[in-house]
Structure 1
Amino acid sequence: MKKRYAIILAAGQGTRMKSKLYKVLHPVLGKPMVQHVLEQVKAVDLEDVVTVVGFGSDQVKDLLGDNTKFVLQEEQLGTGHAVMQAEELMKDKKGTTIVVCGDTPLITQETFEKLFEHHEQEGAKATILTAKAPNPFGYGRVIRNDKNEVERIVEQKDASPEEQLVDEINTGTYCFDNEALFEALKGVSNNNSQGEYYLPDVIEILKNKSEKVSGFQILNVDETLGVNDRVALSQAEKVMKLRINEQHMRNGVTIMDPENTYIHADVVIEPDVVIYPGTTIGGNSIIRENAIIGPNTEIQNCEIGEDSVVKQSVATDSKIGKRVNIGPFAHIRPDANIGDEAKVGNFVEIKKAELGKGSKVSHLSYIGDAQVGSNVNIGCGTITVNYDGKNKHLTTIEDDAFIGCNSNLIAPVIIGKGSYVAAGSTITKDVPSDALSVARARQSNKEGYASKLKNRLQDKN
């Protein structure tokens, strides 16, 4: 097999996006477009990948790191000019080079592989990735001869009325014999209205040399969508969303409403998970089998164990064990570790805390910077008072403790194993194991005082 290479064109600023963010860094399902492209093309076992960067180059380099080499296109003078910037790194290499735009996030590894194979089997010097477009207006048309060979590419503005009826379009992705590509680029001129060097001109140069040019037609035109504005970005998001959701459903996941469920590309979901509408699962999340997620739930970079339920809640950068019940309206903040069979109920916030097996925080509580043991019951309205205005402090609640409602645990403090904290207490000192701690003002009842108070208020009115 011939050696294979890739050049990713990612230098354009993308003015039509009307954004401060560099175009190819706009995310599709949580991942920047250019990262989608790089990951899919690299999966085809390449010798080298070169990414052409321009405006915002440092951000792209930071994102892609050592997964590609970089060259800089200081002036954006067309796609041909962009490829020329890779000449020093690529010109002497023998093999096949694919050229793809960094704003085409939907092209899959399978399509790249098929394009390479077709190009090499045909023995072509260039192969154009083409597609049948329901509305080809604005695209370059691929004109074939009576032998179905590619004759030329005609841009919309130059196409005759007959050529404008052609619905096979140039997608902007190509395979080239690498040496032929850089030799032909020497003949590309910028003698056009835009003063730019166009990569499709290489096709005409090769045809004039009687070199073979082929076309490989992709069946799914959606893959070739180029994102140049926010409308196209939303279209790409929709296509990617349904593609990912369909893959999960075919792998045994129940997604009640795929149109309203957003699962990012790197999420792992095991069979027999059920996902309700309005749910977003992002980052490197892992959802184990038989879990139930949603509705209206947001999960980011979390592992959720078998048979757990998370409904109408937000969880970020945390681990949730098996048979856990979370929500509705819970907030699991970063570095939480929720043990098996635990419960986190409505309007509970957990942050940088460990909740042991079988422990319960059922409602209206804040547990932050805490180490909570097993089988602990934390009553409604409990707060671990972790912040003194400068530093965060740890609250430790040992196994089998019971925390009464509306308790304030002033950290650093330890609540001993099996101890009780009476409702309404403000705990400032450690509570020994098997102790009852009552830390509240003594109740005082003033007989008949309520009537006097009411009369006094009426007199003022």
Structure 2
Amino acid sequence: MIPENTGPAAVIVLAAGAGTRMKSRTPKILHEIGGRSMVGHALLAARSVNPRQLAIVVRHERDLVARHVAELDPAALIVDQDDIPGTGRAVEVALQALDAEEDLTGTVVVTYGDVPLLSGELLAELVATHQREANAVTVLTADLDDATGYGRILRGEDGTVTGIREHKDASDAERLIREVNSGIYAFDAAVLRDALTHVTTDNSQGEKYLTDVLGLARKAGGRVAAVVTADRWQVEGANDRVQLSALGAELNRRTVEAWMRAGVTVVDPATTWIDSSVTLDEDVRILPNTQLHGDTTVARDAVVGPDTTLTDVAIGEGAKVTRTHGSGAIIGAGAAVGPFTYLRPGTVLGDTGKIGAFYETKNVTIGRGSKLSHLGYAGDAEIGEDTNIGCGNITANYDGEKKHRTVIGSGVRTGSNTVFVAPVTVGDGAYSGAGAVIRKDVPAGALAVTVAVQRNAEGWVAANRPGTRSAELAQAATTDSSSTPAPTEEGK
């Protein structure tokens, strides 16, 4: 639960880095885990602490990142980092932009766009501690078993933070320290504003370091403290695809575990992937090799899987979805889908309906209790209630230029391999014969058949395929038939 606090004056999300180690044309912070971009996770955590303002500092692929941020959080202030490098400069330009909106007083939180597992609860704890202790700076730190490469937290006898020692500069004794700097801070706005005016680029990298603010704050008499987390994943960043994959796996593990604790059965967590945005009810059952993405929702007592991938699909209570790939679909209560079914966007299956094996659907509404059991295609169609669509039926909806709709009423029964050539309407209670090609509307209660007279061309195989196995078998069958003696009167 998020601790109570008054909320910070602002949260600044740093997202200007190029992320070259990703080796990608996509900006690092736009790479996704759990169905959401890394910066999307960062913005969600930032908003959860109720800041008065939220700013995000951008530079690399600026327009692409800015568009993405605007889609996720239109109220976020987009700030451009200038040519002066460093985290200190990034925060400085953000603070200047925020001050232009209002004269900031209170707490300013600084976090990053590539730390996707940072939770709102931990950020809120950082803010609450900072405000309760009236600190000048509060650092979020983590205890690591292996702190190699991280800046170590140095503390005084009173427990306050006296400094941050980079690994390369640390003594042997300091390298034994397990507490490391996450780079995430809560600042007093006035302290931060003043300290940044004294931060210089006089260092080996020629950058303005945000860490310099801590020493300046202490020199000015401010208190620098820390909030320690034992959960290292919450402060882990992703600099390459190996780290991204590890963070994604950990996020999924947490997501799956949280749903299990909330009353969802996940038979094989190791092969189940659930996006952060998915919603599941109690007593849902997820079978192995299932992926649930986007805004997928699954109601109570539904069973999903195995071998199923769904994106933005709503599943009703008690429905069963097996070996199905679907997106943008609605599946009613008690309905059954699969196996080997492809649900494309716009598919709506009514309660207790069925879409069976080897079926593809798109932009189709199927009424309550209707069944499309196997081997077919239904697109741009409306099917009423309690209709049974036979094996091998298709709606021929495309004439080469335009799509057309097929309307099939309630209580309809269609024979195998019926083709509906749209636009066409079939009335309630109508039937079609096997192999019918429906080009004209069928009245309610009518039987539609398209009959072609069967003609047998005897001897065709022997004449046209001589020497084949078929010809040999046909010849043998003909010979056997002709040599069978006619029954005698006694035999009759």
TM-score by length of 2: 0.91
Residues 8, 49 of structure 2: 8 Å contact kept? no
- Cα distance in structure 2, aligned partners of 1:405 and 1:243: 48
Residue in 2 that maps onto 1:229: 240
Question: What's the CA shift for 1:195?
Answer: 0.9
Residues 7, 49 of structure 2: 8 Å contact kept? no
The count of corresponding residues between Structure 1 and Structure 2 is 461
> Residue 432 in 1 paired to residue 443 in 2?
yes
Residues 54, 75 of structure 1: 8 Å contact kept? no
Residues 12, 76 of structure 1: 8 Å contact kept? no
Question: What's the CA shift for 1:425?
Answer: 1.4
- 2:24 is aligned, of 19, 25, 31, to 19
Residues 46-81 of structure 1, C-alpha deviations (whole Å, 9 max, x = no match) = 100011011122222222221311110143611111
Residues 256, 277 of structure 1: 8 Å contact kept? yes
Residue in 2 that maps onto 1:325: 336
- 1:84 is aligned, of 62, 69, 92, to 92
> Residue 168 in 1 paired to residue 179 in 2?
yes
- SS at structure 1 position matched to 2:173: helix
- Cα distance in structure 1, aligned partners of 2:388 and 2:19: 55
- SS at structure 2 position matched to 1:348: strand
Residue in 1 that maps onto 2:482: none
Question: What's the CA shift for 1:88?
Answer: 2.2
Amino acid at match of 2:312: N
Residues 375, 401 of structure 1: 8 Å contact kept? yes
* 1:196-235 to 2 correspondences below 5 Å: 196-235=207-246
Residues 35, 294 of structure 2: 8 Å contact kept? yes
Residue in 2 that maps onto 1:5: 10
Residue in 2 that maps onto 1:37: 42
Q: Which moved more, 1:2-11 or 1:248-257?
A: 2-11
Residue in 2 that maps onto 1:101: 112
> Residue 110 in 1 paired to residue 118 in 2?
no
Question: What's the CA shift for 1:359?
Answer: 0.8
* 1:79-158 to 2 correspondences below 5 Å: 79-91=87-99, 92-158=103-169
Residues 26-58 of structure 1, C-alpha deviations (whole Å, 9 max, x = no match) = 001110011111111211111000110111222
Residue in 2 that maps onto 1:195: 206
In structure 2, do the counterparts of structure 1 residues 108 and 458 end up closer, same or farther at CA, with 3 Å as the change threshold? Answer: closer
Residues 3-33 of structure 1, C-alpha deviations (whole Å, 9 max, x = no match) = 5310000111100110000111100111001
Question: What's the CA shift for 1:282?
Answer: 1.1
Amino acid at match of 1:220: D
- Cα distance in structure 2, aligned partners of 1:201 and 1:89: 21
- Cα distance in structure 2, aligned partners of 1:321 and 1:167: 53
Residue in 1 that maps onto 2:481: none
Question: What's the CA shift for 1:375?
Answer: 1.1
- 1:59 is aligned, of 39, 46, 64, to 64
- Cα distance in structure 2, aligned partners of 1:67 and 1:129: 26
Residues 7, 51 of structure 2: 8 Å contact kept? no
Amino acid at match of 2:407: T
Residues 143, 153 of structure 1: 8 Å contact kept? yes
- Cα distance in structure 2, aligned partners of 1:459 and 1:395: 42
- 1:418 is aligned, of 425, 429, 433, to 429
- Output the aligned Cα RMSD: 1.7
Amino acid at match of 2:77: K
* 1:347-366 to 2 correspondences below 5 Å: 347-366=358-377
In structure 2, do the counterparts of structure 1 residues 17 and 440 end up closer, same or farther at CA, with 3 Å as the change threshold? Answer: farther
Residues 426, 440 of structure 1: 8 Å contact kept? no
- SS at structure 2 position matched to 1:439: coil
Residues 7, 52 of structure 2: 8 Å contact kept? no
Question: What's the CA shift for 1:398?
Answer: 0.5
Residues 104-134 of structure 1, C-alpha deviations (whole Å, 9 max, x = no match) = 0101111011000111111110000000012
Amino acid at match of 2:123: F
Residues 238-294 of structure 1, C-alpha deviations (whole Å, 9 max, x = no match) = 111011111111110001111221111111100000001211111111100000001
- 1:290 is aligned, of 291, 294, 301, to 301
Residues 379-406 of structure 1, C-alpha deviations (whole Å, 9 max, x = no match) = 1111100011111000011011111111
> Residue 70 in 1 paired to residue 78 in 2?
yes
- Cα distance in structure 2, aligned partners of 1:101 and 1:456: 77
- Cα distance in structure 2, aligned partners of 1:96 and 1:459: 87
Q: Which moved more, 1:144-153 or 1:271-280?
A: 144-153
Residue in 2 that maps onto 1:46: 51
Question: What's the CA shift for 1:373?
Answer: 0.6
Q: Which moved more, 1:40-49 or 1:124-133?
A: 40-49
- Cα distance in structure 1, aligned partners of 2:451 and 2:209: 79
Question: What's the CA shift for 1:448?
Answer: 4.8
Larger radius of gyration: 2
- SS at structure 1 position matched to 2:407: strand
Where do 4+ consecutive residues of structure 1 move more than 3 Å? 446-461
* 1:370-389 to 2 correspondences below 5 Å: 370-389=381-400
Question: What's the CA shift for 1:2?
Answer: 6.7
- Cα distance in structure 2, aligned partners of 1:198 and 1:238: 32
- Cα distance in structure 2, aligned partners of 1:2 and 1:61: 25
> Residue 265 in 1 paired to residue 276 in 2?
yes
In structure 2, do the counterparts of structure 1 residues 160 and 456 end up closer, same or farther at CA, with 3 Å as the change threshold? Answer: closer
Question: What's the CA shift for 1:231?
Answer: 0.9
Question: What's the CA shift for 1:146?
Answer: 2.3
- Cα distance in structure 1, aligned partners of 2:36 and 2:167: 32
Amino acid at match of 2:31: H
- Cα distance in structure 2, aligned partners of 1:248 and 1:380: 38
